[in-house]
Chains A and B, each alone.
Chain A
Amino acid sequence: MSLHHFLLAVCCTAVSATTHAQSLLSKVPADAALVIRYSGENFATNVPVKKLDSYPFIRNNLYQLLHIDTLVSLDETGINLQQDAFQYILTGDTGTCFVTLLMLRDTAQFKSLLQQQMQAELRPVYRNGYASATISSGSYVAWNHQWAVITMSSYLLRKKYYDYPVVSADTAAEPVLITVAPPAAAEKVEIVTEKPAPRKTTPVKPGAGRKKTGVSAQKKPAKKMPAKKPAPKKETIPDEIVEDHLSYEDSLYNARRDAWFAEQQRHADAVQQKMADSISELAFNSTVKSIINEISYPKLIDPAAHVTVWLNYDNLLSQYAGLLFKGMGKSMYNGWQPRNTGQNTHDGFRTGLSIFFEKNRMRMEQKMYSPNPQLSQLGKEMYSSRQSGALAGYINPGCVAYLSSSLNTEALANYWYHLMRQYLSSNPFTGEYADIVDVYMDLMEIIIDEKSIGELLPGNAVMVLHSLQPRMISYTDYEYDDNFKATEVIKTRQEMAPDFSIVLETKKEAFMQKLARLPLKYADKGKFSYKDQGGYYELSLDSTRNPMKALYFMVKNGRAVITTSLETVNHTLNNTGYPLDEITRQSVFGNNFSLRINTKKIIEQLRPELGDGLNQKITRYFEENMGDLSMEGSYRDGLIQGTTYMNINGKHTNSLEFFFNMIEDLNTILEKDKTERAQKVD
């Protein structure tokens, strides 16, 4: 073979692999509510299969879960772990399907893996170029020589037997007393596998099975008798000879119930199988309108990410809501129908999450987008504000954690109207009165003054955990003299208390002042100490009993402040603030929300609280291996975007490996501790 031929073959293989990966995405339908993609790169380079095999927890737990021999490799499952895999959820009125699409390396090995999951022999059915089999009730698989579809389908409209309980006499036994001719209904006894038709009379609860069966059996024919004809005295049923039957003691009742459940299960199995078959058929032999064609998918998902998650709120929420209302309609006999989602525009927000397992950190890119221009504009308006310098000044250098958020609350309120309109107009009951709903929502818009809400809380807020301070807390102990006479003594111990500030921007300072002053009047009555300290209010707490000594409330310069820190109070009084470092400045002012958690500091400060032994070992592990967590987000390029970083330390090749290592290491610590404890006990 010439070099040219060889290179051509290599290129073809690579392209073919790419095509396969691509083709699996093309099998994911556009109406999926959730789509997850696992990049083949994860197990090709980040944590190679060999490395994966070497983790004892994978062997001990995952292998057991898959019922595979611990001596084989994950490579021998027949699944091509080095190719992209997909999972998606389809929701409908009758059921939900959770589908997994996998590339295969070796069909024989894959069949062997399937066989190991089954109690019975694997009996594939071959059709239209693929094989399919039932693994268990609700779990189905279909495959060809290249790839496989695993469907977990769940039928959601199972009927409830006890919705219409029918209490009847023990018809398998001889009746104890028959006074009047038994009713025709009681003579003809059949094992009913279908649900009994709902009666118009008030349903009897299962607990009502203690009813006198003789009486119950006579009620129906008694109605046919002339209403005013008095019953002869001799026909009166004496209480003492009426047998008291519980419905669950009734053999025929039990048989009927079991048969009903069996029929329900058969029906559910048939529906679930049908759902799975249609998904397999669609995937193998039809052209699917793929998620790739969904306008938001390419916008929100980064194909270079190691794991991606795409979520359609509209689909998920509307379809589950439909299900909920259908259930309510049934149980209330009120003819309610599920939400008419067909009339929905299905243009709500979609979310995409792209996860990257980088060398020293895990990066998560989150994006939100709505194809509806009006909604998209609302999103833009919600993120149109920026954090104020005065609020940012409360973030002290070296703080344990902070959250800065800046949202346009007026736009947020307007978004709420849109959501409510959409929800109510697709709701089966209110949907019929769309015009009234429209008027009602207009009225709400008039009554609720979103501009005022926007002025009360414009949306700029800062929460800072300055530090965790040790505080001395008192407790009762006993001291014993030489004659073991006990004396109650008050001792103190150290506890960590949060030193925090919550600052909200307000343009309605007078109202907030009124609110802060309100407890002054009721302090004596309520037996708490709330004092005006000249510029701020102090709620004193019993420092010997509470980790916090006091809470301070104040409203000044357009800021409402709740804090445990007097330094924060002074900053507000003097209109000063902490200087920000460059990274924090950029993050806070360049984004609508910014969060930072100093993991090392939190662990360090909490360490004295964690006691000895296991907790200390686990804490030490986290301290050595976990880095800071940060998150920031804003409106960029027509999308609401956010990025989260989780930094890692320690000797890990990349952040995906870190997770596997962490599970393994923590398992080892726990197991070691268990052994040590057992040895101590022995």
Chain B
Amino acid sequence: MPRINIWPLLLLCAALPLQGCFDIVEQLTLSENGSGSLRLVLNLSKSRSRVQSLMKMKTVNGRRVPQQADISRQFDEITNTLKKTPGIHQLKGRLDFDNFIATIECRFGSVQQLNQAALKLAQQHQWKKEGLEKLYSYQPASGQFTRQAPFTLEKEYRELSNADREIFSGALYTGIFRFDRAVKSMSNTKSKKSADNKAVMLQSPMTDIITGKQSIDNTIQLSL
């Protein structure tokens, strides 16, 4: 049955608290032998007062709002899975509910182990799995490092209501890849090289990444 769109009023109200700013920061440091460290940060502190208000509600835009206990439980599940992944060690997970910042840090023996960890998480939480085995790759011999976005969420994004889409407006992705060798070149033209030539950074609005307007795929050639 067709729906008469008399709900824009309600939609506006529902969208207000959600129009948020959040940052996702991915920092990967890679040694020549393929081992390294990863730091992932989800920073919602810019929207702190809104998130605080949201968490007092049961549902927003028809979706259940997870409470502090739910988030902690889910976060613990993720960190436990990562801890159990072979090759992942020194894992530290931190949930700061004062500032609404979630941080996961770990060391790894090879980037393949990170891919395995991502696959394991996807299996456990029934997320999309395609391409996760190629999330990161590194050939020490050729000195080539690749970061690939495993899939696009464009279809899912298009299916979201306007109110839900507003969540992503203002959200920013920052990817920093640091090496102990100089960077010769990188395939993603939007990425920048650091002054010391040993790091590459890519910043992009989340909406551009989700909709495929901006790719985060990058092949970085290191000097041998």
Contacts and interface: CB of A to CB of B under 8 A. Distances in A.
Interface of A: 57, 60-62, 64-65, 473, 475-478, 480, 482-484, 486, 493, 495, 545-547, 606, 609-615, 618-619, 663, 666-667, 669-670, 673-674, 677-678, 680-681
B199 interface: yes
A174 to B, nearest CB: 41
Contact of B1 (A65, A618, A669): A65
A614 B14 CA distance: 13
Contact of A673 (B9, B45, B162, B169): B162
Contacts of B1: 65
B2 A484 contact: no
A680 B195 CA distance: 34
Interface string B188-199: 000000111011
Contacts of B162: 614, 670, 673-674
B156 to A, nearest CB: 12
B199 A486 contact: no
12 contacts: A60-B2, A475-B46, A476-B43, A480-B201, A482-B196, A483-B195, A483-B198, A484-B176, A486-B27, A666-B9, A669-B8, A681-B213
Contacts of A65: 1-2, 4
User: Which of A475, A545, A613, A667 is the most central at the interface, judged by chain B CB atoms within 10 Å of its CB?
Assistant: A475
Given A475-B46, A484-B176, 13 more contacts: A61-B5, A475-B45, A476-B99, A482-B195, A484-B201, A545-B49, A546-B49, A547-B49, A611-B169, A615-B12, A619-B12, A673-B162, A681-B211
B19 interface: yes
B60 interface: no
Interface in B198-224: 198-201, 211-213
B interface SS class: mixed
B3 interface: yes
Interface string B21-56: 001010100000000000000010110110000000
A135 to B, nearest CB: 14
A618 B5 CA distance: 14
Contacts of B157: 681
A193 to B, nearest CB: 32
A667 B8 contact: yes
Contacts of A609: 16
Given A475-B48, A493-B46, A545-B48, A610 B16 contact: yes
A313 B133 CA distance: 64
B170 interface: yes
Nearest to A64: B2
B98 interface: yes
B62 to A, nearest CB: 17
A546 B98 CA distance: 11
Given A62-B4, A65-B4, A615-B12, A483 B45 contact: no
B6 interface: yes
B158 interface: yes
A447 B59 CA distance: 41
Contacts of A61: 2-5
A681 B156 CA distance: 13
Contacts of B27: 486
B105 interface: no
B5 A478 contact: no
B157 to A, nearest CB: 8
A278 to B, nearest CB: 29
A473 to B, nearest CB: 6
Nearest to A667: B5
B194 A663 contact: no
Interface string B149-175: 000001001100010011001100010
Contact of A663 (B2, B5, B48): B5
B23 A484 contact: no
Contact of A615 (B3, B6, B9, B15): B15
A681 B16 contact: no
Contacts of B4: 57, 61-62, 65, 663
Given A475-B48, A670-B162, A486 B99 contact: no
B101 interface: yes
A610 B163 CA distance: 12
A610 B201 contact: no
Nearest to B6: A663
B211 A486 contact: no
Contacts of A482: 194-196
Nearest to B176: A484
Contacts of A606: 16
B107 interface: no
A493 B169 CA distance: 17
B178 interface: yes
B196 A486 contact: no
A480 B194 CA distance: 10
B49 A618 contact: no
A486 B25 contact: yes
Nearest to B174: A478
A332 B23 CA distance: 55
Given A482-B194, A613-B169, A666 B8 contact: yes
Contact of A611 (B170, B196, B211): B170
Interface string B97-108: 011010000000
A537 B49 CA distance: 25
List the 9 closest pairs (A to B, CB-CB), nearest first: A482-B195, A666-B8, A475-B45, A61-B4, A476-B45, A64-B2, A475-B46, A483-B194, A484-B199
Contacts of A60: 2
B48 A615 contact: no
A613 B178 CA distance: 36
B25 A478 contact: yes
A615 B16 contact: yes
A480 B23 CA distance: 14
Contact of B49 (A486, A495, A674): A495
B144 to A, nearest CB: 20
A615 B27 CA distance: 34
Contacts of B200: 484
Given A61-B2, A663-B5, A611 B19 contact: yes
B198 A473 contact: no
A110 B157 CA distance: 44
Nearest to A611: B19
A435 B170 CA distance: 67
